Amino acid sequence: MIGAGPAGLSAARALKRLGIEYDQYERHCDVGGIWDLNNPGTPMYESAHFISSRKTSGFFDFPMPRTYPDYPGNRQILEYTRSFAAAYGLRDTIRFNCAVTDVQQDGREWLVGLDDGTVHRYRAVLCATGVTWSPRIPKHKGEFAGEIRHSSTYRSPLEFRGRRVLIVGLGNSGADIACDAAANAEAAFVSIRRGYHLIPKHIFGIPSDELAHGGPQLPLWLQRPFFKATLRMIQGDLTKYGLPKPDHKLFESHPLLNSQLIHYLQHGDVAIRTDIEALEGSRVRFTDGRTEEVDLILYATGYDWEIPYAAQFFSWNEGRPDLYLSVFNRAHHNLFGLGYIEINSSAYTLFDHISNLLAQYLHDQDHNPDRAAEFDRLIAADRPKLNGGINFLASARHRSYVDAHAYHSYLATLRKRLGWQNLTPGQFDGIRVDQQISEVLG
């Protein structure tokens, strides 16, 4: 297993429960992945918080502490993730400060090369190294006299003091960083190419994802007008603050959750600008003809997905690996990717559902080969529609996007067909080290 962030830890717990032996490699000195601000290359910044709420997030049967706020900050998420690893004794099998440099296939087995020069043989390899390590910076014509950086290098709002800042891009990180710039910079602007449906983190005092997923699931044709009317009632017409009208329907793109941006737009602390036309020394020209003088351009323009140590064994489509259920390699047996998914829900519990499936598949290869072979046939040929009836944006990011309800429903169908166990409370109690220690101590 490669990587000891949330996805890798989820898989480790699932394998450990079924007694499947594994080695785990992590190039950093501790667990936590991107949530560790000291992890070289992390895109994390000091003001970052979860965009899914405490109650809907977290590992299965290991809830976040009730003392956490509705939307925990990055330090709390790191603390929580490390407590998860400690609770299940997952650190014991992790080799830290050890990077995987190369993966090669040898028949039905895999050779994994490490940065110390050693090579190890495995029957399966799980890639769980994440998708936010290769920053994408677009090219614009002209020359810029100031500083150009990607948002992955951003850490503190103090970096904006006394500066005229242009944020390019308005995903969730871009919106967060724009708010930091609004509160600290001499002037702050955001360049965007399209309009967005901006969803506040609370609706009627309830975290938005709790409201969306906590009650009965309405059909899409009812959900959309209900939430659209609710947002209009709460926010009003956002175009008067310079935000373009969205060119897509609600739910057709990755959700943009932010409750602060409208406040700063209303007070003139940040201004919306169109796409960049050209860089002209100390000024930036936009496609609507406006220009602004800035000295820092920060590109919040996303990341290229990469699996550099095994790229040749994945089939790529517009920068996304073609994986069955976003996990199982169709062409290369027992090569998996965990975390290479875009979905409109929180990730941690999702990882657990996937890890549960993956672990039972590996277990069956030794104990129920006929059932494992049946799943092999599904990996090769099954191409379910997992969009839940939503026409996601025709962008590279949304090519492999899945709807959470459709995805979980299909996992349930597979479990029933194959006789695999669903996640159940108490399922992992037998490997909880902290509980065992408590019982011994009395």
Pair (172, 281) in one structural domain? yes
Res. 39 pLDDT band, cuts 50 70 90? very high
User: Domain range for residue 161?
Assistant: 142-299
Q: Among 274, 299, 324, where does a domain finish? A: 299
Percentage helix, strand, coil, to 5, in the chain?
35, 20, 45
Q: Which is higher by pLDDT, 21 or 216?
A: 21
Res. 396 pLDDT band, cuts 50 70 90? confident
What's the CATH code of the domain at 361? 3.50.50.60
Distances (CA, A) of 317 to 305, 323, 396: 11, 10, 8
Q: Among 299, 332, 361, where does a domain finish? A: 299
Q: How far, in Å, CA of 351 to CA of 65, rounded?
A: 20
Pair (249, 349) in one structural domain? no
Residues 153-165, mean pLDDT to the nearest whole number: 97
Q: Is residue 212 part of a domain?
A: yes
Distances (CA, A) of 87 to 9, 81, 363: 11, 10, 23
Pair (148, 292) in one structural domain? yes
Q: Among 299, 326, 361, where does a domain finish? A: 299
Write down the pLDDT at residue 216: 63
Res 130 pLDDT > 90: yes
Res 442 pLDDT > 70: no
> Bridge partners of 198?
256
**Under a CB-based contact definition with an 8 Å cutoff, are residues 194 and 204 in contact?**
no
Res 439 pLDDT > 90: no
Cα angle: 45, vertex 98, 133; to 5 degrees: 35
**Under a CB-based contact definition with an 8 Å cutoff, are residues 271 and 280 in contact?**
no
Write down the pLDDT at residue 378: 97
What does DSSP say about strands 94-95 and 24-25: parallel, antiparallel, or unpaired? parallel
Structure tokens at 125: 């390899």
DSSP conformational letter for 73: B
Q: Which is higher by pLDDT, 320 or 439?
A: 320
Pair (108, 64) in one structural domain? yes
Res 432 pLDDT > 60: yes
For helices 348-367 and 369-381, the axis angle rounded to 10 degrees is 130
Pair (366, 409) in one structural domain? yes
Write down the pLDDT at residue 251: 86
Phi-psi region of 287 (alpha: psi -120 to 50; beta: other; left: phi over 0): alpha
Write down the pLDDT at residue 438: 46
Structure tokens at 90: 């997952």
Residues 155-176, mean pLDDT to the nearest whole number: 97
Pair (219, 362) in one structural domain? no
Pair (330, 206) in one structural domain? no
Q: Which of 156-170, 208-222, 252-266 has the highest mean pLDDT?
A: 156-170
Using DSSP's 3-state secondary structure scheme, residue 154 falls into coil
Total tally of structural domains belonging to the chain: 2
Pair (106, 157) in one structural domain? no
Cα angle: 352, vertex 8, 16; to 5 degrees: 70
Q: How far, in Å, CA of 257 to CA of 179, rounded?
A: 13
- C-alpha torsion sign, points 325, 213, 49, 235: positive
Percent of residues, the chain, with pLDDT higher than 70:
98
Token look-up 């209900």 returns 226
Pair (284, 323) in one structural domain? no
Res. 215 pLDDT band, cuts 50 70 90? low
Pair (272, 149) in one structural domain? yes
Q: Is residue 436 part of a domain?
A: yes
**Under a CB-based contact definition with an 8 Å cutoff, are residues 311 and 296 in contact?**
no
Write down the pLDDT at residue 435: 65
**Average pLDDT of the chain, as a whole number:** 94
Pair (197, 56) in one structural domain? no
Write down the pLDDT at residue 267: 97
Write down the pLDDT at residue 436: 57
Beta strands in 123-173 (DSSP E): 125-127, 142-144, 147-150, 164-168
Pair (172, 277) in one structural domain? yes
For 19, residues 6+ apart whose C-beta sits below 8 A from its C-beta are none
Q: Is residue 314 part of a domain?
A: yes
pLDDT tens string 278-304:
999 999 999 999 999 999 999 999 999
Q: Is residue 1 part of a domain?
A: no
Q: How far apart are the first and last CA of the chain?
A: 35
Cα angle: 296, vertex 170, 277; to 5 degrees: 60
